[in-house]
Structure 1
Amino acid sequence: MSNISESKEGVKWYQFKSVTKVFGIHIKYFLPLSFVVLVALMTGILPSDGFVRSIVVLMAVGGLMSWIGSVVPLIRSVGGKLLFPMFGTVILMKTGIFPETASESANLLMDNGFQMFFVASIVVGTILATDGKLLKASALRYLPILFLVQVFGLAFAFLSSLITGKSFYEAVFFIAAPCMAGGTSGAITTLPSLYSSVLQTDMSTMSGNLFATAMLGTYLALAISIVMKILASNFPKLMGNGQGELLKKESAEITEAKKNMTVYPNSTNDYGDLIGGLFLSLAVTVVGSILNYFVPNVVYIAWTIIIVILVKIFGLVPDELCKKANCWSQFTQEYLIIIICAGIGMSSSSGVSLSSIMSPATIITLLMTFAGAIIGAMVGAKIFGLHRYETAITAAMCSCNIGASGDVQMLALTERMDLLAFATISTRIGGAMMLIEISILFPIVVRALGL
């Protein structure tokens, strides 16, 4: 990363040198290559081969938009790396700057399982990358608190529907759930895939709105954390401030697990790690599909999550395979997610409604959801012997953000970086728990409402 460019007047509105590569290619090469692709797109002379056209268009447009979103500070500050590929392409399609063939190129990839391919990679890799010993040691004290956080959060979302006039169906499943589904990947792909499998509709129609809702929720969660930090500093006893300690009395197992926690590398020089992680992710998803065949009331993504959590807790997967799954998962989260975001935005049926997302009703629902999550965390802290403030930050607020980067932001802001291990469990395992719960609740509610 280069130093930020500055002028005599101060920091420039752009910071071109802050990001020099797109998809691993230096920007001085990527820009002319992407320009060639865009000219071919707009003149109708792209290759006729379906997937060649689809992938190259989404990489060129998505990569360019992601770079712009990363080098313009104002856009970057609101998550522009992913936000701009999605909403920038929406604008290009709605204004007619891009031809309809662009939408056809996106739909070709998006309608043929690319999102589910991404979901499988993320779900398996992120859970297997969680330290198994810490997960097992904290299961009896921390995981029940995560469950309380989610129950209280969804319950308060339900109550918000009585105040705002929104249906409880929308408040719970389309506003609260995306913020507690384990980060951006949950909102962009996993939840839409789950909902689509039940509603039998195109998942791309809801991905944009769910992602934007999750981003809005992250900003609100950060604001709430600032308020909580001020209260914890001024009223430590009232807030249950543990001064950086989560557990009032830490078990020997947790102390040992934290001391010897396994951290898998996010990158690799061995291409076999990537392809092995890909196969592992897809193979475990197939096992989930088989279980779904015999127990159809639980969707196969939920079965996949259950399988991975269990094998991780009981140490049935060797570190070598966990490393491969994590490397592939990190690759998809770093690069493929940009293609996913561009594809969602470029799909003509995307239908992202910013006015709906920014409505007072949505904001009230999010605030009440987070209030419920905090109350649930503090109730759980009282029951299981944890400090209330630290529990509210890790179990509640780190369950309501965009994932790993959101965890770092939250803990840095509240000066609790030592609790990153528990924040990671909140995001990865808590998000998986939420997806399992939603996969059970959503079909029941859909049938009851006759949707």
Structure 2
Amino acid sequence: MSLAPANDEGSSESVAAPPPVNRWWRLMDTRVGIVPVPVFVVILAIIAVYVRSGVVPSDLTMNILILAVGGFACAEIGKHIPVVKRIGAAAIMATFVPSYLVYAHVIPVPLKDSISTFAEQSNFLYLFIGSIIVGSILGMDRRMLIGGFVKILAPILAGSLAAAAVGIAVGTALGLGLWHATFYVVLPVMAGGVGEGAIPLSIGYGALSGHAQGDLLAEILPAVMFGSLVAILLAGGLNLLGRRRPLLTGNGNLQPGEHDIPLTGEDAPRFTPDLQTVGGALVLAMTLYFVGALTQKFTGFPGPVTMLFLTVLLKLGRVVSPRLEQGAYRNYQFFASLVTYPLLFAIGVAKTPWEKLISAFNAPTIFTVLATVGTLVVTGFFVGRAVNIYPVEAGIIAACRASQGGTGDVAILGASDRMMLMPFAQVATRIGGAITVTLALALFARFGT
């Protein structure tokens, strides 16, 4: 649990009240994440009643409660585990503890069904990613924006090529065979996740080889899942390195000299948005998301990438006012601070099958994935430094090449406390993944059949 007293101006202690009331207020100011302890207990009781009835509502109102208590409880545990708390244990616990609890049948079926239905049908992940992308881009210094996108391609490309070479060499040397190491371990790790990577690969492999798509997907998924876990751990390690060596990190800024729109100082008051502006910025973010979704529907080009490029154009063209930019940045702060752990909990329950993760735990696959993701991160780190990008940030973005799609990006950036890098992570995951899938299927057609 975390003690979170209010500031002096609004502190419960500054209000005259009888001692029992003050003690109760102190309890209400003690929180699990953001949830006051008494409210936390009441929510658990509410969930228990619904579970006992056999049906837990899968709507937004119920899942706000479920995901808040689940996500923040797991995160708080992670924040208090010695040593590993420094490498993103909060995000790791919020993702993988619920995955294991589902596997072990600790989470009751009605509760699991509620979370899974909500995660699948609400598109809440895309609300989160859209708000993070739009808010973080509009909060960047426009002079540094375009240079950042151009420069980040260097560590992404160099890391991908080096990781493919090293991973395939290690997998082949450990007895996986050139064919299996290439098409079922290394390339799937960098293919952009499950929906955008593993599934298209399995469909393509099946069409080209005549084997059942389901069997091929079962072979590919373990490497994808384990690769994402390794990327999360390494990103957390880079965050720790940045804390110990401050010169290696911009703390979320990509390049030296980059800064966000004014939040403090003399310029901040005239940019401070009212609630209507914050709401308008959220509507703007969702409008851009659906422009991307329609583009993907009619052209097949990834919707989040379209949204990203449109937001960059709006920023560079000064189409969005400073006040609306600040509103978008406030939305980014809200989602990054308050929604990340509940969302990761939902991802753990609905999209992270524990059995697929543990099926990757054989020595050759483990070392091959470690070599692949480790090479991605190390190469990105040093190439980023060579092109004047903070090496910690470059390594984290390179790690996103091994993420489990958009859900993996959230976990990696959550573990490294770098959610503002989401636009660059999407370039690494979506565009890098699409290129990897295309090349993998071309190579499979030529050499794999």
TM-score by length of 2: 0.67
What corresponds to 1:153 in structure 2?
Answer: 159
Amino acid at match of 1:213: V
Matched residue, 1:444: 438
The within-5 A match list for 1:64-213 is 64-74=73-83, 76-112=85-121, 113-136=123-146, 139=147, 143-165=149-171, 167-168=181-182, 175=189, 194-195=196-197, 209=226, 211-213=228-230
Structure 2 residue aligned with 1:218, among 232, 235, 240?
Answer: 235
Deviation at 1:37, TM superposition (A): 3.2
Amino acid across the alignment from 1:63: F
Q: In the alignment, is residue 62 of structure 1 matched against residue 74 of structure 2?
A: no
Deviates more, 1:55-64 or 1:193-202: 193-202
Give the secondary-structure state (helix, strand or coil) at the position aligned to 1:347: helix
Residues 363-382 of structure 1: CA distance to partner in whole angstroms, max 9, x if unpaired? 2112222343245336x54x
What CA distance in whole angstroms lies between the structure 2 residues aligned with 1:290 and 1:445?
26
Distance 2:237 2:69 in 1: 32
Q: 1:34 aligns with which of 33, 43, 46?
A: 43
Unaligned runs of 5+ in 1: 4-16, 179-190, 230-242, 247-253, 409-422
Q: Percent identity?
A: 15
- Separation (CA, whole Å) in 2 of partners of 1:440 and 1:323: 33
| Contact 1:176/1:369, CA 8 A, preserved across alignment | no
Task: Name the structure 1 match of 2:10.
Answer: none
Give, in angstroms, the shift of residue 212 of structure 1: 2.1
TM-superposition CA deviations, 1:396-425 (whole Å, max 9, x none)? 4665484487378xxxxxxxxxxxxxx97x
Secondary structure of the corresponding residue to residue 21 of structure 1: strand
Please state if 1:430 is matched with 2:424. Answer: yes
Residue ranges of structure 2 left out of the alignment (5+ in a row): 5-26, 172-179, 204-213, 401-411
Task: Give matches, 1:22-421, under 5 Å.
Answer: 22=32, 24-27=34-37, 29-44=38-53, 48=57, 50-74=59-83, 76-112=85-121, 113-136=123-146, 139=147, 143-165=149-171, 167-168=181-182, 175=189, 194-195=196-197, 209=226, 211-219=228-236, 221=238, 262-264=261-263, 270-296=274-300, 298-347=301-350, 350-351=353-354, 353-354=357-358, 356=360, 359-374=366-381, 376-377=383-384, 381=387, 392-393=391-392, 395-396=394-395, 400=399, 402-403=412-413, 406=416
Instruction: Give, in angstroms, the shift of residue 151 of structure 1.
Output: 0.8
Aligned-partner Cα distance in 1 for 2:283–2:341 = 21
Question: Is the 1:288–1:303 contact (alpha carbons within 8 Å) kept by the matching residues of 2?
Answer: yes
Counterparts in 2 of 1:94 and 1:264: CA distance versus 1, 3 Å:
same
Q: Which amino acid aligns with 2:130?
A: A
SS at match of 1:353: helix
Cα distance in 2, alignment partners of residues 442 and 161 from structure 1:
14
Change (3 A) 1:264 1:131: farther
Q: Would the aligned equivalents of 1:149 and 1:374 in 2 still touch at CA under 8 Å?
A: yes
d(CA) in 2 for partners of 1:332 and 1:122? 7
Residues 438/106 of structure 1: CA separation in 2 closer, same or farther (3 Å cut):
same
What's the RMSD between the two structures over aligned residues?
Answer: 4.5
Aligned mates of 2:436, 2:398 — CA distance in 1: 20
Shift in Å at residue 52 of structure 1?
Answer: 4.0
Paired AA for residue 152 in structure 1: A
SS in structure 2 at match of 1:111: helix
* TM-score normalised by the chain length of structure 1: 0.67
- CA spacing shift, 1:330–1:109, aligned 2, 3 Å: same
Distance verdict in 2 for CA 1:245–1:226, change over 3 Å:
closer
SS of 1:96 mapped into structure 2: coil
Deviations 1:277-307 (Å, cap 9, x if unpaired)?
Answer: 32111101122233334532x2111111111
Q: 2:234 corresponds to which letter in structure 1?
A: G
Q: CA deviation at 1:149?
A: 1.0
Deviates more, 1:275-284 or 1:351-360: 351-360
User: Using the alignment, how far apart are the partners of 1:295 and 1:316 within structure 2?
Assistant: 26
SS at 1:58 equivalent = helix
| CA displacement at 1:441 relative to structure 2 | 1.0
TM-aligned CA distance change 1:324 to 1:405, over 3 Å: farther
Provide the C-alpha distance between the structure 2 equivalents of 1:151 and 1:99, rounded to a whole number of angstroms.
44
Deviates most, 355-364 or 217-226: 217-226
Measure, in 2, the Cα distance between the counterparts of 1:50 and 1:83.
26
Name the CA distance, whole Å, in 1 between partners of 2:423 and 2:321: 19
| 1:219/1:447 CA distance change after superposition, 3 Å | same
Amino acid at match of 1:284: L
Q: Distance in 1 between matches of 2:297 and 2:351?
A: 33
